[in-house]
Amino acid sequence: MANHKLSRTTEDIKRELTAIFRELKDPRVQGTFLSIIRVDVTNDLSYCTVYVSAIEGMDKAQEAVKGLKSAAGFIRSELARRLSIRHVPALIFKATDSIEYSASISKILYDLEKKRPQTEGDDTAEED
């Protein structure tokens, strides 16, 4: 039961952080297309690690994390205002390159598909 409540709280925090990120005025955050990849909350709700990624690459994600760290107090107070939880966890922001990594894998798969020779018949159809 407690695990269900923790996962629900984690999803609530992720949803509200997404909305708060759109409202931030810091140019390091505002000029970057950020995506929250994962949110990990400790069992006692004392810490919340937020993994963010940027489409522009790891350098932009790290720059955005600097902006998020400087706005951590504001973000935490906004979370307290929007969520009805007794204790708002301390926020830890970390940059990850998962969007860039998945885009490179997608490009590799696309290139492999282009190089694959096309067959005339559909080999998934069964013959009688």
Q: Does residue 20 contact residue 75 with C-beta atoms inside 8 Å?
A: yes
123 located within any domain: no
Residues 6+ apart with CB under 8 A from 7: none
56 versus 73: the higher-pLDDT residue is: 73
Q: Does residue 19 contact residue 63 with C-beta atoms inside 8 Å?
A: no
pLDDT, averaged across the chain = 85
Residues 6+ apart with CB under 8 A from 20: 75, 78, 79, 82
pLDDT in tens, 12-57: 999 999 999 999 998 888 888 888 999 999 999 899 999 999 888 8
Residue numbers of the domain that contains 21: 2-115
Q: What is the CATH number of the domain that holds 107?
A: 3.30.300.20
18 located within any domain: yes
109 located within any domain: yes
- The identity of residue 20, as a single letter, is I
- Distance of alpha carbon 41 from alpha carbon 49, whole angstroms: 6
Domain total of the chain: 1
**pLDDT for position 1:** 42
125 located within any domain: no
- Distance of alpha carbon 44 from alpha carbon 65, whole angstroms: 24
- Distance of alpha carbon 10 from alpha carbon 40, whole angstroms: 7
- Distance of alpha carbon 17 from alpha carbon 120, whole angstroms: 50
Residue 122 pLDDT greater than 70, yes or no: no
120 located within any domain: no
Nearest to 54 by CA among 99, 10, 14: 99
